[in-house]
Amino acid sequence: MLILMSLNAPRLDVNNVKEKIISLGCTPHEIPGETKLAIGITGPSEILKKENFQPSKSY
């Protein structure tokens, strides 16, 4: 699974997403791009649900 965020997203928001991933027993991997930050997720993907990662705000 990949989660895409703006490169301008506050570090606190990025860290909150990463903490959520870790709390679900998976490992986050930051992949910065030209305009977006992708957070790749490895681990037991059957635990992950799209509803756990709905955006709270748009950047």
Q: What string of pLDDT tens digits covers the 59 residues of the chain? A: 889 999 999 999 999 999 999 999 999 999 999 999 999 999 987 777 777 777 666 65
Q: What is the pLDDT of residue 21?
A: 93
Q: From residue 36, how far is each of 8, 26, 27, 39, 59 by CA, in Å?
A: 8, 21, 19, 10, 11
Q: In what order do the strands lie in the sheet with 27-32?
A: 2-6, 36-42, 27-32
Rounded Cα gap, residues 17 and 11, in angstroms: 10
Model pTM score: 0.81
